[in-house]
Amino acid sequence: MKNQTKLTAILTAVCALALSAAAQDAKPLPPAATKTGVTYDGDIKAFLDTSCVHCHSGDKPKARLKLDTLDGILKGSRNGKVVTVGDSAKSVLVQAAAHTTDDQDEWMPPAKAVSKYPNLTDDQIGLLRAWIDQGAK
């Protein structure tokens, strides 16, 4: 029984360390920008063009997600909607861009592409959030 207690304590410690390490990689979600009247064409498209559309446009976009048009974003990917209109915190697009998940495979752009396509800044993610919260127009 004593060995089982030790083993349980060791496994608990290992799991706690693993969770702690994963939590250090994920970031908190930046707040939504206070700007009103945010639109795809006027505020969002330019930075998505810089960081996202190389992989998410054309005839064979990654995950079948097209980010080069408003319709494409609202349609979503092969896995479903990426924008929850009116609730940016629940939007997969925001979570992926903000790196809020523990799974780095879900981060966009992927780590291997950051040298070519920069991560969105906290200000850009804030604008993305404001746009979604304001109706994604």
In a domain, 3, yes or no: no
User: How much is the pLDDT for 103?
Assistant: 82
The 10 Å Cβ neighbour count of residue 7 is: 10
In a domain, 13, yes or no: no
In a domain, 23, yes or no: no
Q: Which domain holds residue 70?
A: 28-133
In a domain, 51, yes or no: yes
User: How much is the pLDDT for 25?
Assistant: 55
User: How much is the pLDDT for 2?
Assistant: 59
In a domain, 21, yes or no: no
Task: Kindly state the DSSP code that residue 136 receives in the 8-state scheme.
Answer: -
Domains of the chain: total: 1
Q: How far apart, in whole angstroms, are the C-alpha atoms of residue 104 and residue 83? A: 19
User: How much is the pLDDT for 58?
Assistant: 94
In a domain, 8, yes or no: no
Query: How do the pLDDT tens digits run along the chain, 137 residues long?
Result: 555 555 444 444 444 444 444 444 567 899 999 999 999 999 999 999 999 999 999 999 999 999 999 999 999 999 999 999 999 999 999 999 999 988 888 889 888 888 888 899 999 999 999 999 999 99
Q: How far apart, in whole angstroms, are the C-alpha atoms of residue 86 and residue 24? A: 29
In a domain, 12, yes or no: no
In a domain, 116, yes or no: yes
Whole-prediction pTM: 0.78
